[in-house]
Amino acid sequence: MAQHIINQRPISNRHISRLCRKGFFLFLFALLVLLGVFLPWLGSPLLPFPYKTSSSSSFPPSLSYWREYSLTQATKFVAKNGSTVIVCAVSYPFLPFLNNWLISVSRQNHQEKVLVIAEDYATLYKVNEKWPGHAVLIPPALDSQTAQDFGSQGFFKFTSRRPQHLLDILELGYNVMYNDVDMIWLQDPFQYLEGNHDAYFMDDLAEIKPVSHSHDLPPPNRNGATYICSCMIFLRPTNGTKLLMNKWIEELKTLSLAKATEGNDQPAFNWALNKTAHE
């Protein structure tokens, strides 16, 4: 009997050891998850870029200042060392995406060109609190509490504001690079903007194109539409790009009148591209 008990003890010890090991790995996993969620905010590019006050004031601008901050002021501020503005449009629930995207942009040393178009006042105040001058709100402001689901009417309303934002910046005479913030930069995209074209954009199909691919629009699918992505666009302030933006706005209004407002602005962008490609 004593021998039987002695033989069981190592098994019990091994069982406890396994439980401890599992508990340790679960704790480690939970810690990594917490760090993955909160650490990016602690090391956000919104924090390391210091606010430099003028000699006449030791205080940053007030909330009322940012409420009146105009697109003309904002573009002049971020493009002070060049002619290009990197633009994204963000609502408050998606600030973690903005943070992640900004980290990747800063690694390519282009963060000072970034202008965040805040879709609500909470985003406007938060970004300018951490990174003054780099956010502007173009009225009307949207609800800051609701994260719009892809394909919803709210998402359509959010994305359909994009071409007007871009047109406004083009009218001010700047090149504009638009990005969705659910992406990251692995390399500097500007090195791939070869030639002197009015507009640069990406095909949203999975096929990888060779370096020497044609710059013409891809052939339409059986529904007569191309599948160009509106997630990353570079535009020069030419008559051609302004025509494209106006046509995009027009196509979105047509969809809105037809109450076909489930989805996003990309189909309208493709219709606009095809209708203006030879103009």
Two tokens at 223? 């529904």
Every domain of the chain and the residues it spans: 1-42, 63-276
Report the C-alpha gap between 134 and 131 in whole angstroms: 6
- CATH number of the 63-276 domain: 3.90.550
**Average pLDDT of the residues in 255-260:** 60
CA angle, residues 175, 132, 135, in degrees to nearest 5: 45
Residue 193 has pLDDT above 80, yes or no: yes
pLDDT band at 73 (very low <50, low <70, confident <90, very high): very high
Residue 19 has pLDDT above 70, yes or no: no
Report the C-alpha gap between 268 and 262 in whole angstroms: 12
Residue 225 buriedness (CB in 10 A; 0-12 / 13-18 / 19+): middle
pLDDT band at 51 (very low <50, low <70, confident <90, very high): very low
**Average pLDDT of the residues in 36-40:** 51
Two tokens at 251? 């196509």
**Neighbour count for residue 193 (Cβ, 10 Å):** 14
7, 151, 165, 254, 268 from 117: Cα distances, Å? 70, 21, 8, 25, 21
Residue 156 has pLDDT above 70, yes or no: no
pLDDT of residue 247: 95
Q: Which residues have a Cβ under 8 Å from the Cβ of 1 and sit 6 or more positions away?
A: none
**Average pLDDT of the residues in 153-173:** 81
**Average pLDDT of the residues in 237-260:** 84
Q: Which amino acid is at 205?
A: L
**What are residue 176's DSSP bridge partners?**
85, 235
Residue 158 has pLDDT above 80, yes or no: no
Two tokens at 197? 């074209």
pLDDT of residue 56: 36
Residue 139 vs residue 84, higher pLDDT: 84
Lowest mean pLDDT among 122-126, 253-257, 266-270: 253-257
